[in-house]
Amino acid sequence: RLSTFSNWPSNRVHPVSLAEAGFIYLGTGDTVQCVYCQGKLSQWENGDDPIREHFRHFSTCFYILEMKMNNSALLTGTSNAVEVTDSCTDRPHVNTNSSSDAHASNNPTTNNKYITMSSRFETLKNWAHLTLTANQLSLAGFYWDEEKKSCKCFRCNVIITNWQVDDDPFKVHALKSPECSYISQVKGKQFVADTVKTFVNALKDENEKLRDEKMCIICTIEPKTILILPCAHLVCCSKCASSLQSCPVCRTKIMGTVKTFL
């Protein structure tokens, strides 16, 4: 990476620091690009720290997240460089701070063999899924456990099987193991709390919907137990059915009823 900076025009940031942060020089202006996440940064200022700038603009980069795991103190400080986009016109100055979490190796349940994202990624290189990628899973803390034939977290040891097409590995991890310190470290405790809360609320809504579907559509108190003939609609309880002359759904004249036991 360092060899790409032979014609680096700026004296504001040293090429060695940029290369160590995962960047190569693209040969135009002071624009650099990460070889891992492909993110581009430019307009560097005196005092900029390439590692911190990298984390600020591309916080899910495989390379920079591994740095955070090894030394979160590297990622604290002031950010000035600008992410290169098609419509980049301003230069926001944001002070970004990252809390210091305990190193993974100090956790007694940690599988140190897979403490780095690159080591987890290697176990998933033959991973085949319609939407989820090995990169997404390794970022979320998972490696492939050949013995279990499942994805397993290197930190909390939770095992996940039967991934769905629209699954978010981080959210699944947070739901299955909300106490996992890796998820809190990478995504934040608020992310875990919000994920669990959203899931619980969705369950409540689903339960209420199922309960409503079972209740008599007239009194909404008693369960549906009367099958109306000949239309075969099951929509009311025995008490309400006794006063009906026609089906409340299709208005067909009631010729008979059958009590059901669900």
Please give the structure tokens belonging to residue 132. Answer: 């989820």
Residue 72 has pLDDT above 60, yes or no: no
> 84: pLDDT confidence band, cut at 50, 70 and 90?
very low
CB atoms within 10 A of CB 147: 6
Residues 190 and 114: their CA atoms lie apart, in Å, by 25
pLDDT at 85: 45
Query: 226-259 sits in which CATH class?
Result: alpha beta
* Candidate from 69-73, 77-81, 256-260 with smallest mean pLDDT: 77-81
Query: 106-202 sits in which CATH class?
Result: mainly alpha
Q: What is the pLDDT of residues 151-191, one digit of tens each?
A: 999 999 999 999 998 999 999 999 999 999 999 888 889 99
pLDDT at 193: 95
Q: What is the pLDDT of residues 191-207, one digit of tens each?
A: 999 999 999 999 998 88
Residues 42 and 197: their CA atoms lie apart, in Å, by 39
pLDDT at 65: 76
pLDDT at 99: 30
- Which comes out higher in pLDDT, residue 44 or 262? 44
Cis preceding linkage at 230, omega within 30 = yes
Residues 29 and 42: their CA atoms lie apart, in Å, by 8
Residue 120 has pLDDT above 80, yes or no: yes
> 71: pLDDT confidence band, cut at 50, 70 and 90?
low
> 70: pLDDT confidence band, cut at 50, 70 and 90?
low
Q: What is the pLDDT of residues 178-187, one digit of tens each?
A: 999 999 888 8
* Candidate from 48-52, 81-85, 105-109, 155-159 with smallest mean pLDDT: 81-85
Residue 97 has pLDDT above 50, yes or no: no
Residues 80 and 157: their CA atoms lie apart, in Å, by 39
Q: How many residues does the chain have?
A: 262
* Candidate from 68-77, 217-226, 240-249 with smallest mean pLDDT: 68-77
* Candidate from 114-118, 134-138, 238-242, 248-252 with smallest mean pLDDT: 114-118
Query: Domain 2-100 in CATH: superfamily?
Result: Inhibitor Of Apoptosis Protein (2mihbC-IAP-1); Chain A (1.10.1170.10)
State the amino acid at position 45 in one-letter form: E
Q: What is the pLDDT of residues 16-32, one digit of tens each?
A: 999 999 899 999 999 99
Whether 106-202 and 2-100 are alike in CATH topology: the answer is: yes
Residues 142 and 133: their CA atoms lie apart, in Å, by 11
pLDDT at 186: 81
Q: Which residues contact 11 (CB under 8 A, 6 or more apart)?
A: none
pLDDT at 35: 83
Domain ranges of the chain: 2-100, 106-202, 226-259
- Which comes out higher in pLDDT, residue 12 or 98? 12
CA 9 to chain centre: 39
Q: Do the Cβ atoms of 172 and 159 come closer than 8 Å?
A: no
Residue 95 has pLDDT above 60, yes or no: no
SS (H, E, C) the chain: CHHHHCCCCCCCCCHHHHHHCCEEECCCCCCEEECCCCCEEECCCCCCCHHHHHHHHCCCCHHHHHHHHHCHHHHCEEECCEECCCCCCCCCCEEECCCCCCCHHHCCCCCHHHCCHHHHHHHCCCCCCCCCCHHHHHHCCEEEECCCCEEEECCCCCEECCCCCCCCHHHHHHHHCCCCHHHHHHHCHHHHHHHHHHHHHHHHHHHHHHHHHHECCCCCCCECCEEEECCCEEEECHHHHCCCCECCCCCCECCEEEECCC
Q: Bridge-partner residues for 246, per DSSP?
A: 253
